[in-house]
Structures are given as C-alpha cells and as structure tokens.
Structure 1
Amino acid sequence: MSKQSVISARVDTETLALVDKLAAAQGRSRAWFVNKAVLDYVEQESAMLAFLQEGEDAITNGDYYTQEEMELWLAERQASRARQRRAAG
C-alpha cells in the first residue's frame, strides 16, 4: 500500500454537501471521493502541461508553421476541393 498523507482544505458548505452527496451515491467515503477528485485534476493538469511543453519544444526546434503558411495551405486545400466538386458535378 502506498504511503498516505493528510491534507486539509477549506470549501464552502454547498461544495461539501455536493461532495458528500456524490460520495454517498457511489458508496464511497468523503476521503476517497476527494482523493479521486484531486488525483483526476492533477492528472489532467499534468497532461495539459506536457502538451504545452511539447508545443514549446516544437517551436524551439523550428517545427511549426507560420500564420502565412497555414493560410496558404488552407487556400490551396479549398481550391483543390472546389476543383474536385466541379469535376464531379
């Protein structure tokens, strides 16, 4: 079993009531529910930070498109689709 630590947090009474309601509906304790909520949030935020870092690294390595390059690509794609529609129609 992993080592556990105790933390405390101040929450408004409405939030605490919702926590208790959801925990009871799932047959879980308040502590289990709060731990799960914190874990889920930490995992989501960690994934977001990793995603942002990947983008920053790509920029640093020059692996990106400028606004002008993207606009040109989109215009070419739209023109190609228009030609395909005309040829099919």
Structure 2
Amino acid sequence: MSTTSFRLDDDLQEKLDSTATRLQRSRGWIINNALRQYIEREEQKQRMLEETEEAIADIKAGRIVSGEEVMQWLETWGTSTDTKAPLV
C-alpha cells in the first residue's frame, strides 16, 4: 500500500476526525472508502457517456428500431404468437 500526502481544510479535518472516532475506524480507512466510492461514480459516469455517444452514433447511422416495432413485439410476450425481438 502506498502513502499519499495532501492538505485538508480545517473544517474537513475536524469532520474526518469526528467521523473516525464515531465509527471507530481510522482516518485512512474513511479516506480510502470515500475515494473508492468517488472513483467508482466517476467511472460509471464515463461508461454512461461512452454508451450515450455510441447510441447517438447508432441513431445518426440509422441503426434504430421504432417504438412501434418494439411495442408490437412486447405485445406478443407470453402469448402463443410470441415473436423474436425486432432487428436493426
């Protein structure tokens, strides 16, 4: 495990100390968990952005299925005439 130094605002340091005491955890444990959650959220945002950009490219290229086609397909679910999903 590596060590990283950084500055904290005084009020944030006080809250960190208070939280560490209340949770009976180290400051390092709290910082690691907070940073891990932050990075996971940022990675999720990046994946969502990439998926959105791919979807926009599909739309621009005409690779779409109309809402009407999807609704017609959904109406067959659970019936004797169950059909396959519409293709692009």
Instruction: Name the TM tier (shorter chain).
Output: 0.5 to 0.7
CA RMSD in angstroms, aligned pairs only: 1.2
- What is the aligned counterpart of 1:30 among 21, 24, 27? 27
TM-score in terms of structure 2 length:
0.63
The equivalent position to 2:49 in structure 1, one of 43, 48, 52, is 52
Q: Where does structure 2 lack aligned partners over 5 or more consecutive residues?
A: 61-88
CA deviation map 1:27-75 (0-9, x unaligned) = 1000111111100100111111111111011111227xxxxxxxxxxxx
Q: Are 1:7 and 2:8 an aligned pair? A: no
Aligned-pair CA distance for 1:11: 1.1
User: What is the number of residues matched between the two proteins?
Assistant: 60
Q: Percent identity?
A: 33
- Separation in 2, partners of 1:22, 1:52: 34
Cα separation, 2, equivalents of 1:48 and 1:23 = 29
Structure 1: stretches of 5+ with no match in the other structure: 64-89
